[in-house]
Amino acid sequence: SAATRKLLVDVHTHVYLPRYASLLRSRSAAPRILSRPTADGAGTEERLVILDNEPSGGRPVGPQYWDRDEKIKFMDKHGIDVSIVSTANPWLDFLPAAEAPSLAEALNADLDAYCATAPALSPALSRLYAFGLLPLVPAVPVPALLAAVAHIASLPRLRGVIMGTRGRGAGLDDPALEPVWAALARAGLVVFLHPHYGVPSSEWGDRENGHVLPLALGFPFETTIATTRLILAGVLDRHPSLRLLLAHAGGALPQLSARLASCVAHDPAVAQRLAHDARWYLGQLYFDAVAYGREELAFVAECVGRADSYEKGADRRTQSAQRTLGSSRLLFGTDHPFFPPLAETDKWQSVTENLEAIDGVEGWSDAEREGVRGGNAARLFGLV
Ligand code: 5CU
């Protein structure tokens, strides 16, 4: 039965719901959806332009972003049992504070309906759950954010929130967010932290590299900086039950965590603010497994599994216990509908690469692989 079968759960999969796509179509500046003649002049095509200076006139966009049947077809094609969908970037970031709360409320209700009316796996298990949206824009009153958290927590298919890196405009170390972290932790909502802005385009030089540098490097660097600032502000010390899921396997944070710990240790003003060695915080986080390589997954799991061993007086875990602990924080994702195949194929390479990476990590047991494929998500999101 669906309850006992080992589930494949996709925690990184996006939508632009029809209400959101209409908003993007109504705009004349990024983020927007524009319509233009096709190259052969025979018709029109829609393009998604979500960044200023976006190369190549944006990217193709179509029903795979808003049509739920397309999401289910994609899931069926890849054997995905359950998806936790999230609105794709840039969420509501560009809206005025007067408009964002009501649109967040409407989109969160839309998301719950999108999930609730989909075919279910069993009476107790839907195929679709979602991360809601908070109206995180400059000058939005904190009570409006708290009302959005309460609304999301009341919607049965919404199990978390997706959040960009800017918070209310001042980043995730903004003290104004304190009550929001507290409310999210209390409600047990998972916070999916996702990039949008990358690093300044002036860093990418004059050579035409399409979307490669902003997506491959800019996105994960942005996540790395935002999460580091949140850690250094003591958010995880004050809210130990906050569950934070980092996009793209945490970007460069695992690779840089020992350097971060060393820099903190050499800066007493920062070190005295933190309750733990900087590496410890990795063990408090969750990471999507959207890394495309087995070595990368193994490395993240190793850093996470060892995270608390740097504390003074820490017990030494065996290597295999560290591996189990580390892999328990990794969760399969696809990034659908981004990274579609360029030619007609059966399965999407961006999906098969991530599944092969999970299968290929040396030393993981079957149980550890099953955890990353779906068991960890089932526990984190309360699916079973
Ligand atoms: O890699 C990704 O997650 C994405 C995304 O979410 N949005 C986007 O514009 N491109 C890639």
| 159-179 pLDDT tens trace | 999 999 999 999 999 999 999
Q: Are 353 and 292 in contact (CB under 8 A)?
A: yes
pLDDT for position 1: 55
Q: Is 197 helix (H, G, I), strand (E, B) or coil?
A: coil
- Dihedral of alpha carbons 55, 57, 60, 62, sign: positive
C-alpha distance from residue 161 to each of 104, 129, 183, 245 (Å): 11, 11, 12, 10
C-alpha 46 – ligand 1 centre gap (Å): 18
Nearest of 334, 287, 273, 279 to residue 310 by alpha carbon: 279
**Does residue 14 line the site of ligand 1, with CB under 6 A?**
yes
Which of 24, 287, 335 to mutate to test ligand 1, by most ligand atoms within 8 A of the CB atom?
Answer: 335
**Among the atoms of ligand 1, which is closest to the Cα of residue 211?**
10
- The ipTM value here is 0.93
Q: What is the pLDDT of residue 344?
A: 84
Q: What are 237-296's pLDDT values in tens digits? A: 999 999 999 999 999 999 999 999 999 999 999 999 999 999 999 999 999 999 999 999
pLDDT exceeds 90 at position 380: yes
| Bridging pattern class, strands 128-133 and 158-163 | parallel
Polymer length in residues for the chain: 384
Please tell me whether the overall predicted TM-score, pTM, comes out greater than 0.90 for this model: yes
Question: What confidence tens digit (pLDDT) does each residue in 11-46 have?
Answer: 999 999 999 999 999 999 999 999 999 989 999 999
pLDDT at 56: 67
pLDDT one-digit tens code per residue, 82-121: 999 999 999 999 999 999 999 999 999 999 999 999 999 9
Residue to mutate, 49, 192, 215, 350, ligand 1, most ligand atoms under 8 Å from C-beta: 215
Q: Name which of 4-8, 207-211, 369-373 the model is least confident about.
A: 4-8
Q: Is the CB of 335 under 6 A from ligand 1?
A: yes
Average pLDDT over residues 377-382: 98
User: Best substitution site from 85, 219, 292 to test ligand 1's pocket, by max atoms within 8 Å of Cβ?
Assistant: 219
51-60: per-residue pLDDT in tens?
877 766 789 9
What would the pLDDT profile of 188-247 be if each residue is shown by its tens digit? 999 999 999 999 989 999 998 988 999 999 999 999 999 999 999 999 999 999 999 999
| 166, burial (CB in 10 Å: exposed 0-12, middle 13-18, buried 19+) | buried
| Predicted confidence band of residue 4 (pLDDT cuts 50, 70, 90) | low
Instruction: Give the mean model confidence (pLDDT) for residues 329-336.
Output: 98
Domains, in order of start, for the chain: 9-16+65-380 (3.20.20.140)
pLDDT for 3 equals 53
**In whole angstroms, what is the distance from residue 355 CA to residue 49 CA?**
29
Helix axes 349-360, 294-305, angle to 10 degrees: 50
* Residue 106 CA neighbour count, 13 Å, CB half: 11
Beta pairing class for 32-37 and 44-49: antiparallel
245 - beta bridge partners? 192, 286
Q: Is 338 close to ligand 1, i.e. is its CB under 6 Å away?
A: yes
Q: Which protein residue's CA is at the shortest distance from atom 2 of ligand 1?
A: 335
Confidence of residue 302 (pLDDT cuts 50, 70, 90): very high
Distance in Å, CA 91 to ligand 1 centroid: 12
**pLDDT for residue 313:** 81
